Structure formats: structure tokens, C-alpha cells
Structure 1
Amino acid sequence: MTDVVRYRVTGMDCASCAAKIERAVRSAGVDDLSVSTASQILTLNVARSDKRLSGVEAAVSKAGYHLTPIEPESGSAETMRPTHMTAGYRWALWIVIGLNVGYGLIEMIGGFLAGSQALKADALDFLGDGLITLFGVLAIGWSLAWRARSALVQGVFLGGLGMGVIGSTIYRVFTAQQIEAGLMGTLAFVALAVNVAAALVLIPHRAGDANVRAVWLFSRNDALGNIAVVLAAGLVAWSGSSWPDLAVAFAIAGLFLHSSWVIVRDALNDMRAPTDN
């Protein structure tokens, strides 16, 4: 009979991260696993004495993430080991949270002022990243059940924001509105700079070339959205049409909704899992 081995994952905040962690675990020879983006927990259905665990920890670390074992106590209860976070790393995460949430609010207001749905959708990405990172910092040491419940609320909230942007974008399809392409492009350029700043803040606290590369890959994915908004602003200015803005808004908001759904799905699965309360 196999045991259940759980790890808290530091650095995972999206479905793409979960997929990379799953590939890393499988590369170490373990196929019976689940990765929850909601509770940021990796679960392996293997014996605790399994020699492959050291390989799993090394593979996940090489992929750019950190695993902290969740130790079983008496009965079915589990407890977290003390976090590996240094004071510097914790402050870096708070700076990243401030950058993402702060600029997300600024970009959302800018989206209304510029009449740009793409800016509003990109603002959601900033807000989502910031709130997920905030959850990761605050939830250290929480039980799996409480992490899942909190993540469920967060996923539903983020999904509601995403649906709001989708709905207003559909409304804009049928109503003409002048878009301030200059303001739209400027805010998108600043968004790109904020993403680069967040990466620079994190890199000194991620050991190893692979971990540094993981920070840049994550920032690159966010930057692609910023660049898409910049290109849309250029096309709006060139063509005088709002369609480039609407197309980018649908694409970014759709990806955001998918991430929100993954959080809700994983949270519900975690809540059904046998664990302590």
C-alpha cells in the first residue's frame, strides 16, 4: 500500500507552473501525482521511503520551484515544516505583490480613461498575479483544507472579474467608443517595465541558473500580454478601428478565466481530499 506524500510548492502561481512541475516530477520517474494551483500543494502517491523522492525534489528545484515537505503527525493530521523563506525573500515577494496589485489598479483606471478593453484585461492579469502571490505568502502553515477554502473564494472572485471584462468587451462590440491609442500604448509600455522590475526583484532570491531562468520565463509570459496591448494600440492608431483592442481583450481575458477555473477546480478537489481541518 502506498502512502501519500505532500509538498508545499513555493513559486507556483498559475496553470503553466503546475504543468512544468508535473513534467519535472514525471521526469524523476513518478507518474501518480497531482498538482494543485489552488492550495499550491504537490501530492505524490508513493511510499515515504521511496528513493525517487530525492530525484523529484531535485527535478522540481531545477525547474525553478521549491518544495517543502508536509510532515504527517498522529492520525491523518499533517503539519507544515517551517518555511525556507528568508526575510529578504519575503520582502521581495511583498514588493512584487505591491507592484502587481498597485499597477493593476492603475491600469484598470487607465483602461476606463483610454476606453481600452485590452488594458482592463491586462490589469486583471496584474491583479490576479498579485493576489495569488499574496495568498502564497499568507497561507504558509495553513492546513490543506483552509488553503483550499481560501483559494476557492479567490478563484471565484477572480473569475467574476474576468466575466465582467468579457461582458463589457462584448458590449463594446455593439457600441462605438473612441480609444485613446496614445494613453493605451503608454500604459502598456509601463506595464512591461513593471513586469521586468518584478523579475529583477525576485532573481537575487532564486538560487541557480535554472531558477533564475524560471523567473524570466514567467515574466516573459506576462510580458507577451503587455506587448500584445502595445501592438493593439498601434493598430488602433493606424486603422482608427477598435477591433484590435477588442481582440486582444478577448484573448487576455479568456486566458485569465481559464486560470481562474483551474484554481476553482483544484480547490474543489482539495476540499474533497481526506485531510485535517
Structure 2
Amino acid sequence: MGKSCCQTPEPDQNAHNNPRWRTILSIALIANAAMFVVEIVAGVAADSRALQADALDFFGDAVNYAISLGVAGLALSWRAKAALFKAATMLAFGLWVVGYAIYGLISGANPEPQTMGVIGSLALIVNVIVALLLFRYREGDANMRSVWICSRNDALANIAVLGAALGVFGTGQAWPDLLVATIMAGLAIWGSIEVFGQARKELVHG
């Protein structure tokens, strides 16, 4: 197909002042905060590192959405600085999950696949809905892009959690759960690099 057929429409330059953008962020914030509570309880009960890691990701995203709401409508430099902070939190989350997965490998774990599957499915549904709501803003500034990347990574992570549940169920071992936790860490670290790079460019040109 020609280039014109594959181009993404330019985002609304005033999107940060758009009530629709603020409404979507508010919905995302509430959904992520609720799923943090659900997943952290289920993750501890199921002894699943992947669920616990995903729960902390929900918490981090809720905080990030709150920050995005706080800087919406401010100058580009302020939004870029907020994006830098969010990139740092994504990086910190990724490094923490790597360490937690290593700890689980050394200390031993016994994840419960049925709970992982049910909660992972619920989390996937929530994240897909949020990602679809944010899809039109994926090519915005670093602040908007960081919100989109968070949602995209969450949906991919939930698919991986479901794969881990199947792996634990099929093998009777914990390594699929620990592997998925590590993959989730990689997504967070890669996403932080993308956001950090764009935010630095916007600070230079802003």
C-alpha cells in the first residue's frame, strides 16, 4: 500500500485542553486504581509474581495518569518534564520486577494457575478498553505517548500473564510465571527508553 494509505492522522494539537482527553484519563485512572487492588490481593493469594508485578504496574499507571491530568493544558516543557518522571517510574518498575523474579527463582514459588487465568483475563479486558480509548493519542507529545505506551504495555503484559497461567498449569512449575514477570520488566524498560528519548527532544526544542 502507498504511504498515504498507512499514515496516521495528526493528533489534535489542543488535545490537552480537550475535555474528552481529560475524561479518558480519568476513566483510565479509576480503572487502573481498581485493578491494582484486585490484582495485588489475587497475586498474593495465588503466589504469582506475574500478577503482583502487573498489580504494581496498574498502581504506577494510575499515578502516571494522575500526573498527566495535572499537567494537561500546561506548556510543552512542563508536559515533557512530567513525561521524564513517568519514564523514570517505568524504568524503576522494570528493574524491580527483574529483581523480584530473581528472588522468586532463588526462594521458590508455587503460583496458582486458575486464579492467574481469571484475574489475568479481567485485567486484559480492562487494559484493552483503556488502550482503545487512548489509541488516537498515541502519536502525540511525550506525555501523551507515555500514556499510550503504558496502556499498550499493560495489554501485552496481560496476554503474557495468561500464557504464564497456561504454562504453570501445563508444567506444574513456577518458571513460566517468573519468565513472564521478566518479560513485563523488559516492556517497562523499553517503554521508558522510548518516552525518555522523545521527552528530551521536546525539552530541547520547547
TM-score by length of 2: 0.74
Deviation, 1:165, is 1.3
Match of 2:89 in 1: 157
Deviation, 1:127, is 4.0
Match of 2:114 in 1: 182
What is the CA deviation profile of residues 48-71 of structure 1, one whole-angstrom value per residue up to 9, with x for unaligned ones?
xxxxxxxxxxx542xxx6231xxx
- Point out 4+ residue stretches in structure 1 off by more than 6 angstroms: 218-221
1:85 is aligned to 2:30: no
- Going by fraction, where is helix more abundant, 1 or 2? 2
Match of 1:66 in 2: 11
Matched residues, number? 190
Q: Distance in 2 between matches of 1:82 and 1:165?
A: 33
After superposition, the Cα gap between the structure-2 partners of 1:224 and 1:153, relative to the gap in structure 1 and judged at 3 Å, is closer
Alignment root-mean-square deviation, CA: 3.2
Equivalent residues of 1:121, 1:165 under 8 A apart: yes
Query: Which letter maps to 1:156?
Result: A
1:263 is aligned to 2:195: yes
After superposition, the Cα gap between the structure-2 partners of 1:253 and 1:221, relative to the gap in structure 1 and judged at 3 Å, is closer
Match of 1:41 in 2: none
Query: Which letter maps to 1:67?
Result: D
Deviation, 1:238, is 2.6
Deviation, 1:259, is 0.9
Equivalent residues of 1:185, 1:233 under 8 A apart: yes
- Going by fraction, where is strand more abundant, 1 or 2? 1
Match of 1:148 in 2: 80
Secondary structure of 1:179's counterpart equals coil
- Structure 1 gaps of 5+ residues are 1-26, 29-58, 69-80, 207-217
Q: Distance in 2 between matches of 1:160 and 1:125?
A: 11
Percent sequence identity is: 35
Deviation, 1:82, is 8.0
After superposition, the Cα gap between the structure-2 partners of 1:128 and 1:60, relative to the gap in structure 1 and judged at 3 Å, is farther
Q: Distance in 1 between matches of 2:41 and 2:16?
A: 37
The structure number with the bigger radius of gyration is 1
After superposition, the Cα gap between the structure-2 partners of 1:196 and 1:265, relative to the gap in structure 1 and judged at 3 Å, is closer
Secondary structure of 1:90's counterpart equals helix
The structure 2 residue matched to 1:244, chosen from 155, 171, 176, is: 176
Equivalent residues of 2:57, 2:93 under 8 A apart: no
Deviation, 1:148, is 2.5
TM-score by length of 1: 0.57
Deviation, 1:119, is 1.4
1:198 is aligned to 2:130: yes
